[in-house]
Structure 1
């Protein structure tokens, strides 16, 4: 199917990776900010699209990078759903979404990441279809990615520009969220909880630091 779609593309057009193209088509259609052309930019450093929050993504191959970007594209898919059902509805939509380029395990990975992004837990009965397709390693990576997306959306409400001057630093013992001096108004109990949850999943402690002199804009 994927090969046939690529053969049918207009001549002269560069081939797109189908999973990303599908995510790009499905994600922004229901996004709070539909005019934003690159919804996965919140997890990138400005001017360097291959870096996650200012640091290389450790051990990430091309396939993992593609799935991360697709998850970011889909990360606001359930914003208009009732809060009680967002996680499960987004999970099922991604499992059943009609786009090529992702096998069953990859689709389960994306659905799990977005399920966690909407506060779903790994022990939820709703995740049974994904648990049957994912080994422990990919399941844990989807969980970590979902927590990172949840932190990003909690911090900025889905506005990508606000994340361009923030960062995550992964140390030997700590995961640190770094904010510019004029972004302290973004902090609160919810952001602290998201940082701590992500840090715990990475077997680290969590902390937030404000960088003196750095500015959110300008």
Structure 2
């Protein structure tokens, strides 16, 4: 019985709600990064750990088209969407060169385990896979139906699961790199109020822990009685 309850609790904890083509990001996030927190940045600046103070690091793209920030007036500025004003993360270089060989893979790593994250995202391909990982293991993924035209439904992400990184993988049928722009990255750390309602992640995780502890104690007592 305990094992059944434990399985159900853990299954509920792992029930994700993907955020796809949404008009808004997550509500009441712990942190929002707009890539303007460090002040003016030179277009083409490679972004790795500059935003670590805000709980984020970035990695994964090829050296020639690494993560970069485009400042206002630079290549790829999107005036039509408030999610992409001023600085934003992109794989454009300063000369607006595009389509380098190979896939475009961006990894967003969080300093702590999070329970929800969202970001404005544009790409020139509809074959983008967005995946959430916890400790290197895949938790949830989906294929984003995105394009490179700013609109009112540019937010993507996850809620209802625990994860510590997001990987965005994007390549076109010929294997060339797709171009992307990412801005307004919001997240809620695990245990934040957003998901702490009846039957929430926190309650289910606690229940799972208690059930597992009880099961182990019962097994230990059984072994001791049989020795």
Same fold (TM over 0.5): no
Greater relative contact order (Cα 8 A, min sep 6): structure 1 or 2?
A: 2
Based on CA coordinates, which of the two structures has the bigger radius of gyration?
Answer: 2
- Relative to the length of structure 1, the TM-score reads 0.24
More strand by share: 2
